[in-house]
Amino acid sequence: MSEIRRHGIGRRHFLYGAAAVAAGVMCNTGCTPEDARGSDGQSGVPVIAVDTQRRSFTVSPFMTGVNGAKWYDDAYGMWDPKHNRPAPGIVGKIKKAGVGMIRYPGGTSSNLFNWRAAVGPQESRGRQVEGKQGDTVDSRFGPDEYMAFVREVGATPQIMAPFANSTPDEIADWVAYMNAPQGTTWGDLRRGTATPSPTACATGKSATSCSARTSVTG
């Protein structure tokens, strides 16, 4: 209970939450209050019954997403810089876990992210300031490497637009870079990258969502 207090959660709220979770499990598994009573009809020890053979609903892939917490340092080993490809071991684990969506370039660490510094040949990419600690970091895992990774694992991409230091025109340029076909100014900039083909990107309010269906979030 000390751990609960440390995170600012009161004992009463914790118990209410635990009861709500138990009730939800019983509702979705077919367990009723009568199931928790003994054969004599008297209330006994509470029981949560889980029927592993029954599927009550299908979990949306948008509920099994993860946050790519940083784009630098090869994104926690998600990218194999030696072979310029998604790291096979990580790809296999993410597929096995059933991750449905991966956000890029991250959360707080990407508040100052500059997408232009993270595209093009690796040797010409600049360093930039990480938005959480203020450290200067590399830009190796850029938008192209990210898109190659999500395509490899079969997840839906979600790109967070850093509104702290970006203008609407800069975000529009990012969308154009991701969408433009080869033979255009933006499309030709992707030539020779990890994802030379367009990615069908659509912009939202403070985030950008990319998918084959050009969905919008915000």
H or E element at residue 80:
strand 79-80
Per-residue confidence (pLDDT) for residue 200, from 0 to 100 = 55
The answer to whether residues 71 and 104 touch, using CB atoms and an 8 Å cutoff, is yes
86 prior amide bond cis, ω within 30: no
Q: What percentage of the chain reaches a pLDDT higher than 90?
A: 27
Q: Which residues pair with 182 in a beta bridge?
A: 184
Domain boundaries, the chain: 1-57, 61-210
Q: pLDDT-derived band of residue 83, with 50, 70 and 90 as boundaries?
A: very high
Highest mean pLDDT among 45-54, 85-94, 200-209: 85-94
Exposure string of 81-100, with b = 16+ CB inside 10 Å and e = fewer, is: eeeeebbeebbeebeeeebb
Is pLDDT of 167 > 80? yes
The answer to whether residues 144 and 119 touch, using CB atoms and an 8 Å cutoff, is yes
Q: pLDDT-derived band of residue 206, with 50, 70 and 90 as boundaries?
A: very low
Residue 129 token pair: 């300031």
Per-residue confidence (pLDDT) for residue 34, from 0 to 100 = 53
Is pLDDT of 212 > 80? no
**Which CATH number describes the domain made up of 61-210?**
3.20.20.80
Per-residue confidence (pLDDT) for residue 37, from 0 to 100 = 52
Is pLDDT of 126 > 60? yes
Average pLDDT over residues 10-24: 52
The answer to whether residues 194 and 147 touch, using CB atoms and an 8 Å cutoff, is yes
- pLDDT digits over 43-58, tens only? 678 888 888 888 777 8
Q: In this predicted model, which residue has the larger pLDDT, 79 or 53?
A: 79
pTM, two decimals, is: 0.66
Per-residue confidence (pLDDT) for residue 3, from 0 to 100 = 42
Listed residue (141, 148, 86) closest to 109, CA to CA: 141
Per-residue confidence (pLDDT) for residue 25, from 0 to 100 = 44
Q: pLDDT-derived band of residue 107, with 50, 70 and 90 as boundaries?
A: confident
Mean pLDDT, the chain, integer: 75
Average pLDDT over residues 87-103: 93
Three state DSSP letters for 144-197: HHHHHHHHHHCCEEEEECCCCCCCHHHHHHHHHHHHCCECEHHHHHCCCCCCCC
- What SS3 class is residue 64? coil
**How far apart are the C-alpha atoms of 159 and 94, rounded to whole Å?**
18
Is pLDDT of 94 > 90? yes
